[in-house]
Amino acid sequence: MIDPEMEFYLDPSRCIGCQACFHACAECETHRGVSMIHLEYVDRAESVQTVPVVCMHCEDPACANACPADAIKKTADGVVQSALQSRCIGCSNCVLACPFGVPRYIAPIDQMMKCDMCYDRTSAGKRPMCVTVCPSGALTFATREEIEAKRRERPMNAFVFGAQPVRTKVRMMMPGAGPAREVDVEALTALSGALADLMEALP
């Protein structure tokens, strides 16, 4: 069991795009050189903003629901596991279904692999590998009390994709001011280009 007090927080405003998380994930002994997470530039032409893409561990996981082989299981403590090797048929339904773009089809083994919140480490009282190495605090594994004492941002875990609400085990850190609200993913895709505008206006 993962300590029920410990929560996973994701804060892209802290991310520096270094990919330490991506590389470290591959180093976990159970992953054998394959990283189960990735890191994306949101729009490199506009900004250096990057986002680490770890599994959000949905309460009602679309990946598992879409799996025709029943290969994706959720643990009692809410971790959505990677595909069971014996069941996964490599169909990529989960890849298409996930609203966060998390699962990846790994062609050489004809299987899907995805982040399982380092279950081997977290269930043994350690932090996930990506969190442990993350040099910016963009990935954090801590108690609610700790995070509220340290951060201005507020954790939330309710998202809407068009009409579909999604609740997750992983918390997204949102700017601290104003009431906690759902993240409207569509609205956020229109990025603030303040720095880009500044560069544009230079003499």
Q: How far is the CB of 32 from other proteins (least distance, A)?
A: 4
Cα separation, 159 vs 178, whole angstroms: 17
Cα separation, 79 vs 196, whole angstroms: 39
Cβ proximity to other proteins: between 42 and 89 the closer is 42
Is 13 one of the binding residues for other proteins (CB under 8 A)?
A: yes
Could you say which DSSP state residue 157 is in? E
Cα separation, 116 vs 82, whole angstroms: 6
Type of residue found at 19: Q
Among 10, 20, 83, 172, the residue binding other proteins under the rule CB under 8 A is 20
- In terms of Cβ atoms closer than 10 Å to its own Cβ (0-12, 13-18, 19+), residue 40 is middle
Is 195 one of the binding residues for other proteins (CB under 8 A)?
A: yes
Among 1, 3, 5, 48, the residue binding other proteins under the rule CB under 8 A is 48
Cα separation, 122 vs 129, whole angstroms: 9
Cβ proximity to other proteins: between 53 and 166 the closer is 53
Among 2, 50, 71, 166, the residue binding other proteins under the rule CB under 8 A is 50
Is 33 one of the binding residues for other proteins (CB under 8 A)?
A: yes
Among positions 54-113, residues that touch other proteins (CB under 8 A) are none
Tell me which stretch binds other proteins (CB under 8 A): 1-9, 76-84, 89-97, 132-140. 132-140
Is 196 one of the binding residues for other proteins (CB under 8 A)?
A: yes
Could you say which DSSP state residue 135 is in? S
Among 23, 38, 73, 74, the residue binding other proteins under the rule CB under 8 A is 23
Helix residue ranges, H only, 9-80: 20-27, 62-66
State the distance between the two ends of the chain, measured CA to CA, in whole angstroms.
Answer: 58
Could you say which DSSP state residue 17 is in? -
Q: Which residues bind other proteins (CB under 8 A)?
A: 13-20, 22-24, 26-27, 29, 32-33, 44-50, 127, 129, 132-137, 150-152, 193, 195-196, 198-203
